[in-house]
Structure 1
């Protein structure tokens, strides 16, 4: 049963296969035309770079050893680098350096094609500061010879056409620019117009950043994946390559500026220390000239050694204090636009972290200042951050200095204990120790600064960025858009869905009977079968022995009538329908002809007294007829019966003269007299009655009939009419009601068009 239902369901759609074929072909053709002439082909350019790490501080060997133990973790500023790569300032430099705001097109019949790089024979330099610059204006260029060209466009509905020489400054109503010819290009002039369009840089920046994606490939690594979507492979690769190149150049520039500022500060400090060391050495020389320090007691040497150890520690703390003083001096001098030199990094990790954060924020401000004014909210916010960081660094530096001074005082207290013992040595020795200690402090600071200066000089002498290109920018072989597979699959599904939905909606909204299955589901009355359309368009079969498909249909119908009969004779048959136009007269006429051709004596009564059509089908007169017989009591049945002139055994009775009160005639006793007389003389009596849904005349004949042929018609009889048929069948209003479906498709029928459903 389930398989049968599926077959029935599919058959409803298979019969509309031309609609599905047309829908599929149309949608696939639409997809092809969309891909060919409308869709923008886009490729994805992919590249990978490795960015450097920055540690939280660059302390001494002690700090490095602590870091090796895992107590201090490295800080990877990958998110900052991603932000820099996606910044508008960086992208603006890429666009400006490569003139990416100027697009070149070759005009086509359906769509224009953008060209780039070697496919462009010219190079244009535009003065973007000009106030008369018009964006998005197609400007056609025509090469007259190797040195001259012609510009043509339309400005404010006025044609503009001028000739120029390559390299000359062109001043036009739409802008000022220079056009130069490229020496090495692959452009071939095939007669198609070449034109260029000047775009707004800000719009290009937004469009490029929208198509740019920079992400960390792995959270545990510093590899960054750069993806850029472009309609031109070469142009997309140029954008990504330019982005990486500009990024590296900016980082080298920033690092060089930081190194230069550090070297300047160290040089100033070294000059001061050099003078101080020379003064200390001169003092030592004068002291030794005047005194002889060669004689010192053994114990005194021990005390001096212990005191010197503490002095050495005090000197180390003093070095750190001097570095912190230099940081305070640097910030208090108001150098808010210059990075704090890395050489001044103290051994305090938190202070070092703040200094690095201060320099990073200053770098970000410098990049933003290239594309935004000082009144920009972001720059104002960065200034506020720099101010807060400066205050925090000063506060942290003072706190660190206080701690160092406290520790220094503690060491000094311990040193004083030994100093008391040393006090017994000659004044000469004490003076020499003081001078040596002062000299040692200054020399240590001098060597420290000299080492830092050499480090900065080396970094400046080798301007190589720590950023490394892992994979060069390369466009994918196949475009990412449009997705041809998805589009064709979608077109195929749409081509099937639209006809399916159309058929489904038609079936859903259809409230009329379309098949014998619909009848079977709606009524319980026996189904007599179905009659297909006559292929030659004939409504009446006029030859009793005809072997036409129409004649065969009604022969099979006669067989079904005998099979379904409930009386021995099934002599009197009433033919009716629900509404007009369902073919009851056509069925009654052809059924009578078929039975007469089978040798039965048949009489057909036109009891549709209001709109008689039976006699017209046979080209016979309606009078005298039934109304005449009922009204005129002296008439006999033989007076109103007409024999068909060409078909043997076929007799007809017309409706008679027209009267107004038909309903009263249907209750006349004369009908019973007529029916009794006809049953004696004829083998079959077929009664053509009015539609039951409009007039109730047929019910008055129920007492005289043996069976009822209830005619329905495909795509005309409504589903709600089945309630009338079901009521007549269940309540016995018409005897032995059998339902016939008329006007079906011949391809759906059995044999010549009658399909039994007994």
Structure 2
């Protein structure tokens, strides 16, 4: 029967996590959740009310392929893939050089802010006429001025030095000052729009502003097979953001156009320089021809013999072509050797060598690519070094090709001259004057043809320079969203609700996690389901009337001890021939309420007309006398244990008038050797004799973990009530009591939890707060 009763008190089904119980555990603190949620929502509202509105501005551009329509279709064309490296274009767009140009064009190193009651927001421009007096490059560090507009005029304050300047008539032009700007009212602006307003004028270095703009602008490709780029910037002022994006597109487009125009401009400059030289040579040849005719009295020279003349004409044409090519080669070689400024070479000047022309075109492209990389990545970048190496290699290839081509021309020219000598022998009859005159004409024709060729190339380069195609096509100009992207009310309120719930939950979770105190029956059953919990004593806020003095009391305290007394009967073993039952009340440490419980338990048993004896066996720290207002030194158990002639019945006290069947034996004088007295046999004799006189003997013993007194007399108990106090007893201490029970050092043990809160006590389905429907005691 004892095992069956024990099983009734173990509540094995509660060994696993009780989700409902955990929820109730947190819901006890619902006011904190409500308060945290209210604070979070109010904070979210204030944040949304005064946080700056951030808008996203974007634009779309298409990068144009320079070679589109000029090259033979390749595999990239067949598979609809672009030859444009968008990553390079993105790096160029976001390069410091481009950003610096945008900053200079829009004067972004001078920014304006409007001061509000709560927040200060950026604006695109002042609602006043503003003229900057300081040069942007002279700004070495950031500084700011506050401009206050009132009825009397302007008040300008240097925010760094806090020095103020007053200007009347709402203009700074009529006063001498050292401010870096002038400002006055606009004719188109109503004074009421700016009256009593404050503005911040901030000046920053060009470099600092350009780097800041570089970090703000984001460029990304649209799709994997597209030539489109999206430019994005976020800011408070939509007007300012749109100006920045549009200007950035214009600057990038102009930069690409300038790169392509640079080649054509170099070609035009080269040809113009050659025109001056050729014009002088043509004038000199024409004068020589005129002088030759005058000196030799030549008016018209008869043609040569038909065969010899045809051969000579053919030979001279070939000689003319060779000398023409040789002259162009020498000119290009001289230009290549003298060119140190930009490294660009004139393209397509008439050389009849496709390899050299291709090398020159590739060389110019490599130079432009090197300059772009150098501007965007810096001179020490590995990509720049590689590009410079490519330029040098191409330049060396051009030199080698020109030398080879010149050698070929010289060899051909020598062969042709040798052949001309043969022709000269055939036409030896031709006067020397005619031969000399033909030589002069040949030189004149060479120079004229070269002049015309260069003139044609100049016109082609000039046309290309004038009609250079743009670098990009603007698909969408800068557009700003109608609603801000930050802050977002839905996300902010959702975050506030989540934070309002999680913060108190987290705090409570940490409190519960670091809480090592016992709080209720579930803490005991989790540790040991084999030891029953037979009672929970409620925590009384009042400190008086805590003793069960009236047998008819119907208070929550009285009912809890009645339940405890009833449950104690169930755990007591049934033995024939014995009348009295011995019940020990002990605990792990001092202060857990064992004296308080043992006293009230004995009174509860006495209230059902049972004879009860309460023995104060805590000889080291007796406390029973404090509840019955008796002298601590009154003779009691220690006197009986020490004196064999002392009768224990002489120390009996009837401390409660309404409990005639209740008697108390105090601890008596505090002895120096309590353990020796408890084991001298007198205490066992007292218990055996008391069993004959009383139905129940309740023994208030010493704490088990502090002294061994209780262990020495534990075998005399029929049942041991082990006290644990809610919010006081450490959970780890319960392991000690469990070990005592499992090792058999404590006999027939059961737990009683003291000082359980009304909202936490639910012993056997009862809540002490309801008082079973009875009113207070009368």
TM-score under structure 2 length normalisation: 0.78
Q: Give SS of 2:620's match.
A: coil
Q: Distance in 2 between matches of 1:454 and 1:133?
A: 47
Q: Is 1:708 the counterpart of 2:720 in the alignment?
A: yes
Q: Alignment partner for residue 626 of structure 1, among 637, 646, 654? A: 637
Question: In 1, distance between residues paired with 2:236 and 2:642?
Answer: 94
Classify the secondary structure of the residue corresponding to 1:120: coil
Among candidates 565, 573, 577, match of residue 566 of structure 1: 573
Q: Distance in 2 between matches of 1:727 and 1:149?
A: 86
Aligned to 1:351: 360
Residue 191 (structure 1) aligned with residue 196 (structure 2): yes
C-alpha change, 1:338 and 1:550, in structure 2 (3 Å) is same
| 1-structure distance, mates of 2:75, 2:582 | 111
Find the counterpart in structure 2 of residue 85 from structure 1. Answer: 93
For residue 94 of structure 1, what is the aligned residue in structure 2?
A: 102
Task: Tell me the secondary structure at the aligned position of residue 746 of structure 1.
Answer: coil
Gaps of 5+ in 1: 59-63, 369-375
**1:681 Cα deviation after fit:** 2.4
Partners in 2 of 1:713 and 1:3 — Cα distance? Answer: 21
Conserved 8 A contact 1:139-1:151: yes
Does residue 655 of the first structure (1) align with residue 657 of the second (2)?
Answer: no
In 2: Cα distance, 1:728 partner to 1:2 partner:
23
Equivalents in 2 of 1:341, 1:552: separation in Å?
A: 112
Alignment of 1:537-576 (within 5 A): 537=542, 538-568=545-575, 571-576=581-586
CA RMSD of aligned residues (A): 4.8
C-alpha distance in 2, partners of 1:586/1:536?
15
* Alignment partner, residue 61 of structure 1: none
- Structure 1 residues 652, 126: closer, same or farther in 2, change over 3 A? same
**Within-5 A mapping of 1:654-673:** 654-673=666-685
C-alpha distance in 2 between matches for 1:76 and 1:632? 112
User: When the two structures are aligned, how many residues end up with a matched partner?
Assistant: 729
Give the direction of change, closer, same or farther, for the CA distance of 1:378–1:579 in structure 2 (3 Å limit).
Answer: closer
Maintained 8 Å contact 1:558/1:595: yes
Deviations 1:511-557 (A, max 9, x none): 43333233234346522334142456352222212222222222222
Where does the alignment leave 5 or more consecutive residues of structure 2 unmatched? 1-12, 770-778
Whether 2:536 is the aligned partner of 1:531: answer yes
Q: Which moved more, 1:736-745 or 1:575-584?
A: 736-745
Distance in 1 (alpha carbons) for counterparts of 2:389 and 2:592: 96
- Deviation for aligned residue 1:700: 4.2
The structural deviation recorded for 1:42 is: 4.0
The match for 1:178 is: 182
Q: Describe the superposition over 1:411-464 as per-residue Cα deviations: whole angstroms up to 9, x where unpaired.
A: 875897799689757866996998887677555534432222222333455576
Post-superposition shift, 1:699?
A: 3.5
How many Å apart are 1:680 and its aligned residue? 2.1
Alignment of 1:121-140 (within 5 A): 121-128=128-135, 135-140=142-147
* 1-structure distance, mates of 2:278, 2:14: 103
Contact 1:553 1:753 in 2 (8 A): no
5 Å-filtered alignment, 1:94-243, equals: 94-117=102-125, 120-128=127-135, 135-142=142-149, 144=151, 149-153=154-158, 156=161, 158-163=163-168, 166=171, 168=173, 172=177, 175-183=179-187, 188-189=193-194, 191-214=196-219, 217=222, 222-243=227-248
- Alpha-carbon distance change, 155 to 226 in structure 1, aligned in 2, over 3 angstroms: closer
TM-score w.r.t. structure 1 length?
A: 0.80
Query: Does the CA-based 8 Å contact 1:311-1:412 persist in structure 2?
Result: no
Partner of 1:138: helix, strand, or coil?
A: strand
The match for 2:756 is: 744
Per the TM alignment, residue 506 of structure 1 is displaced from its structure 2 partner at its CA by: 3.5
Say whether the 8 Å CA contact 1:549–1:752 is kept in structure 2. Answer: no
- String of CA shifts for 1:306-351, please: whole Å, max 9, x gaps: x47x945x65565554433333333455662585444648642122
Partner of 2:461: 456
Distance 1:658 1:364, change over 3 A: closer
Q: What is the deviation of 1:207?
A: 0.8
Deviates more, 1:693-702 or 1:154-163: 154-163
Secondary structure at the aligned position of 1:721 is classed as helix
Q: How many angstroms does 1:400 deviate by?
A: 2.3
Paired residue secondary structure (1:604): strand
1:472 Cα deviation (Å)?
1.0
The change in CA–CA distance for 1:647 and 1:358 in structure 2 (over 3 A counts) is same
- d(CA) in 2 for partners of 1:496 and 1:52? 55
Q: For the structure 1 residues 354 and 529, does the alpha-carbon distance in structure 2 shift closer, same or farther, using more than 3 Å as the test?
A: same
SS at the partner of 1:49? strand
Q: 1:498 to 1:195 in 2, by over 3 A?
A: closer
Structure 2 SS opposite 1:188: helix
Return the alpha-carbon distance in structure 1 between the equivalents of residues 612 and 598 of structure 2. 11
For 2:591, the equivalent position in structure 1 comes to 581
Q: 1:185-334 maps to which residues of 2 (within 5 A)?
A: 188-189=193-194, 191-214=196-219, 217=222, 222-250=227-255, 259=264, 262-270=267-275, 273=278, 290-293=300-303, 296=306, 307=314, 311=317, 318-333=323-338
Equivalent pair of 2:55/2:236 in contact (CA under 8 Å): yes
CA distance in 1, matches of 2:386, 2:624: 104
Range 384-393 or range 658-667, more displaced: 384-393
Equivalents in 2 of 1:730, 1:444: separation in Å?
A: 122
* Partner residue, 1:729: 741
C-alpha contact (below 8 Å) 1:582/1:713 kept by paired residues: yes
Counterparts of 1:167 and 1:345, CA distance in 2: 65
The alpha-carbon deviation at position 708 of structure 1 amounts to 1.2
Q: CA deviation at 1:140?
A: 1.8
Are the aligned partners of 1:130 and 1:176 in contact in 2 as well (CA < 8 Å)?
Answer: no
- Structure 1 contact 151–163 (Cα < 8 Å) conserved: no
Structure-1 separation of matches of 2:328 and 2:41:
76
8 Å contact kept, 1:606–1:615: no
- Could you tell me whether the CA contact under 8 Å between 1:54 and 1:75 is conserved in 2? no
Inter-CA distance 141–383: structure 2 relative to 1 (3 Å threshold): farther
- The corresponding residue for 1:372 is none
Distance in 1, Cα, partners of 2:168 & 2:325: 73
Q: For residue 645 of structure 1, report the CA deviation from its aligned partner.
A: 0.9
Q: Name the stretch that deviates more: 677-686 or 498-507.
A: 498-507
CA distance in 2 between counterparts of 1:170 and 1:482 reads 44
In 2, Cα distance between the equivalents of 1:71 and 1:548?
Answer: 94
Checking the alignment, whether the CA contact within 8 Å between 2:326 and 2:409 is kept in structure 1 is no
In the alignment, what sits opposite 2:5? none
The CA deviation at 1:17 is 4.4
Question: Secondary structure in 1 aligned to 2:156?
Answer: strand
Mean Cα deviation higher: 458-467 or 237-246: 458-467
In structure 1, C-alpha distance between the alignment counterparts of 2:269 and 2:140, rounded to whole Å: 45
Q: Structure 1 residue 582: deviation in Å?
A: 0.8
Q: Please give the residue correspondences for 1:450-489 in structure 2 after superposition, counting only pairs within 5 Å.
A: 450-462=455-467, 465-479=470-484
Aligned-residue offset at 1:389 = 5.4
